[in-house]
Amino acid sequence: MFVDTNVLVRARFKSAPEHATARRLLQQAGGSGEAIRISRQVLREYLATVTRPQSWSRPVAMEAALAHVAALEAAFDILEDGPRVTEVLATLCRDVAVAGRQVHDANIAATMLAHGERRLLTFNASDFRRYGERIELVDVETGA
């Protein structure tokens, strides 16, 4: 299962919306025996998000944020970006109507597909529905 940035951020901050759900889903996924995956893009997005002010949190100091990124690297399988991901991204951009910031989500989908991963855990399901049957969105209510 691939974990989107928003799940990691919400799990990190007690004051974040749906914090308890994010924590439960990550614990449930970790105990399932299924490989839990993220990408370097998710690590960058996490770093960018936690080091800027949120409506529910102050920014985290860069050193603390970098330490947590290192912990995430150690805790999850990292799907690397590369030529195959770029190839799949180009195909997705041709087949699915995406532009601007949507390309970031398309790259997550491309990374997943290039590595044979189909399941995505995200709180932003609406951003990924455009990929139809290419990927499976994990229900954040049930984790299934």
Task: Give the tens place of pLDDT for each residue, 9-42.
Answer: 999 999 999 999 999 999 988 888 889 999 999 9
- Round to whole Å and give the CA distance between 14 and 40: 24
103: part of which helix (H) or strand (E)? helix 102-114
- Round to whole Å and give the CA distance between 144 and 2: 13
Record the tokens describing residue 109, joined without a space: 């989908």
Q: What is the pLDDT of residue 64?
A: 97
Residue spans of the domains in the chain: they are 2-138
Can you tell me the mean pLDDT for 113-120?
97
Can you tell me the mean pLDDT for 87-98?
96
- Per-residue pLDDT band for 139 (boundaries 50, 70, 90) equals confident
For the purposes of burial, counting CB atoms within 10 Å of the CB of 131, is it exposed (0-12), middle (13-18) or buried (19 or more)?
Answer: buried
What is the CATH code for 2-138? 3.40.50.1010
